[in-house]
A and B are shown apart, each in its own frame.
Chain A
Amino acid sequence: MTTEQPALTSPPPEKLTSKRTRRQIGAVVTFLVTLFLTFLGLLAITFFIGRVIPIDPVLAVVGDRATQAQYDAAKIAMGLDQPLYMQFISYVGNVFTGNLGMSVSTGRAVADDLSRFFPATFEMATLGILIGVAIGVPLGVTAAARQGSWLDQAIRVVGLLGYSVPAFWLGLVGLALFYARLRWVGGPGRLDIFYDGLVTPITGMILIDSLVQGEFDIFWNAVWHIVLPASVLGFFSLAYIARMTRSFMLDQLSQEFVTTARVKGVPERIVIWRHAFNPIRVPLITVIGLSYAGLLEGSVMIETVFSWPGIGNYLTTALLNADMNAVLGSTLVIGAVFIVINKVSDVLYRVLDPRAR
């Protein structure tokens, strides 16, 4: 971090801090209010989708195989005899107390289902973003350092492929090549069948649970299975991160202090990694945050292809069964995580960047 000292003519320190704390409290309040309003907006949209669009919301929730008695019970339980705004208020109340309704296809509470499926998605997306950062940032820096070279062009094409290759297609091709042909990685699912259920879930993330319990066989089997889906997912964040890193780096490399450093004879490696890269770390955090949120979304397709028992798979199964409670519950959870990551990376930017304080 390049610490920029305040100018010598700044006001006395204690006055400055009190002013700053007040401004920081104000910023925190504004942040919480926008966060809350955005959540409310998300709830309004899911409410609209679940209660207003379907011609018969009751049928949409209970499914078309329900008996008349079930139908009537559901209608009263959903409070459909009340005016729309009352329905919305009780809906918001339900969501905030963790009641997302029952799933027709699994027969369990949607909230329970989601908490069971979330760790698998989280595990895969986190590994994906690690891969994306570990490869994407160096690629972007290299591309900028050698602007116009064939390497730069190649990285640019990789970046554009990230916008034009369907995730599910890449997953399928990966399975056909690396699993079926080359046998380098495991097939669909999180573990081989004979390892299934041998680890007691603690965090729900098999990689961590198996390590904690000392089951190294299972750990390596899980690694073998997660590598491909996480890499496919990582590819998309890699493409975005590399593209943005390159553009940030080019901005810095054209600055005068970089030219000065070069003229003074500072080795190119240090110019690139210290003078140019250090200032872009803060905007990069925002980019990484955004692509992490994007990965949660991308995992819907990937999980479907790899039969990965996460939220995405749960969502697509629910979609095909017209299981509206499960659909809206998953939409809410993914949407909420997406919003939080988005807003937090936005705030982090302001906290970490001395110029934006």
Chain B
Amino acid sequence: MTTRDWLLADSPTSRWQANAGRAYRVFTALLRNPLSVLGGVIILVLLLTALFAPWIAPFSPTGQNLSQRLLPPSGVNWMGTDELGRDIFSRVVWGSQITLTIVLLVALISAPLGLLIGAISGYFGGWVDRVLMGFTDIFLSLPKLILALAFVAALGPGINNAIIAIAITSWPAYARIARAETLTIRNAEYISAVQLAGGGPIRVIVQHILPLCTSSMIVRVTLDMAGVILTAAGLGFIGLGAQPPLPEWGAMISRGRTFILDQWWVATMPGFAIIIVSLGFCFLGDGLRDVLDPKSEGKS
């Protein structure tokens, strides 16, 4: 029996085999869509760049060399140098670590938070639902970027506070999705079976409701990542996100603003990195949605 047969078996003999088989089917379905393959490759490159930044970057991201300042792109400095003589390519490579950290932490904070609030709201219903969803709706009807800006202003500039502010503004969308999913499965017979067997609300929600929300959640989180990257870069650009000399892409664009008319590469290059990575998440998210959650096409 080949691995493929084992993965695609009609009657898997273990839970692990069933899960692996499902993941494999999703994977092959993704491979059929060229744009999602491209998205996946971009995200993979981002991961590898962040992991191996010290070996990929030819120069130090913070080492200054004033005799080499503002050099145009060349064979040595692929993206030119900035006003302190630092190699922009190396800084963009190291910056991938910051972007990846922000994206991962925001997802790790806001998705479980939203998931939990939505599931509790949908499972209990009644006034719990009304209070939690009222709260969620208020957050949803406020402008995200402005809210994040105000939070950072109160918390103080810096990368950690930027992550907290973005996470605070992104959980409500997840709560909405989790609630909708919970409502459709709350009255299913297998849930009643668990309840009859003595399963309390915590067990039902954690073991039987949350796992079923994950696929629509993964789609939504992936699609949202582009927005998170843009917000983080925006905070960096204004000067409230990652602080110098950290090679954060938005902050790098902000430094290059002064030279945009003559030394265009200083501000332009980090922008390309932002666009490519955000597009990667968009492509992958679109593809994942087509495979995992085809009903929600067109909604954003």
Contacts and interface: CB of A to CB of B under 8 A. Distances in A.
Contacts of A320: 238-240
Contacts of A46: 150
Interface in B220-261: 226-227, 230, 233-234, 237-240, 250, 253, 256-257, 260-261
Contact of A163 (B135, B240, B278): B278
B54 interface: no
Interface in B114-169: 134-135, 137-139, 141-147, 149-155
A340 B274 CA distance: 32
B261 A45 contact: no
B268 A173 contact: yes
Nearest to A336: B142
B274 A335 contact: no
A53 interface: yes
Interface string A30-48: 0000000110011001100
Given A301-B234, A338-B141, A342-B141, A169 B267 contact: yes
Interface in B242-300: 250, 253, 256-257, 260-261, 264, 267-268, 271, 274-275, 278-279, 281-283, 286, 297-298, 300
Contact of A343 (B139, B141, B144): B141
Contact of B282 (A163, A331, A343): A163
A172 interface: yes
B156 to A, nearest CB: 9
B59 to A, nearest CB: 24
Given A243-B300, A247-B297, A247-B298, A161 B154 contact: no
Interface string A4-48: 000000000000000000000000000000000110011001100
B279 A296 contact: no
Contacts of A165: 271, 274-275, 278
A324 B153 contact: yes
B149 A53 contact: no
A121 interface: no
Given A164-B230, A322-B153, A338-B141, A180 B261 contact: yes
A145 interface: no
Interface residues of A, number: 57
Nearest to A340: B141
A157 B22 CA distance: 30
A141 interface: no
Nearest to A316: B238
A339 interface: yes
Contacts of B282: 160, 163-164
Contacts of B283: 160
A247 B299 CA distance: 9
A93 interface: no
Contacts of A318: 153
Nearest to B138: A41
A315 interface: yes
A166 B141 CA distance: 22
A300 interface: yes
Contacts of B146: 297, 300, 315, 330-331, 334-335, 338
A294 B141 CA distance: 11
A315 B152 CA distance: 13
Contact of B145 (A42, A49, A297, A330): A297
B162 to A, nearest CB: 12
Contacts of A297: 143-146
A176 interface: yes
A327 interface: yes
A294 B135 CA distance: 21
B142 A166 contact: no
B112 to A, nearest CB: 22
19 contacts: A38-B138, A41-B135, A41-B138, A41-B142, A45-B138, A163-B227, A166-B234, A166-B275, A168-B237, A169-B253, A169-B275, A244-B300, A296-B143, A316-B238, A324-B154, A328-B150, A330-B146, A331-B149, A338-B141
Interface of B: 134-135, 137-139, 141-147, 149-155, 226-227, 230, 233-234, 237-240, 250, 253, 256-257, 260-261, 264, 267-268, 271, 274-275, 278-279, 281-283, 286, 297-298, 300
Interface of A: 37-38, 41-42, 45-46, 49-50, 53-54, 60, 160-161, 163-169, 172-173, 175-176, 180, 240, 243-244, 247-248, 251, 293-294, 296-298, 300-301, 304-305, 315-316, 318-320, 322, 324, 327-328, 330-331, 334-335, 338-339, 342-343
Given A37-B134, A334-B143, 18 more contacts: A37-B138, A38-B138, A41-B138, A45-B147, A49-B151, A49-B153, A54-B154, A165-B271, A165-B275, A166-B271, A167-B230, A168-B237, A180-B261, A294-B143, A297-B143, A300-B146, A304-B237, A327-B149
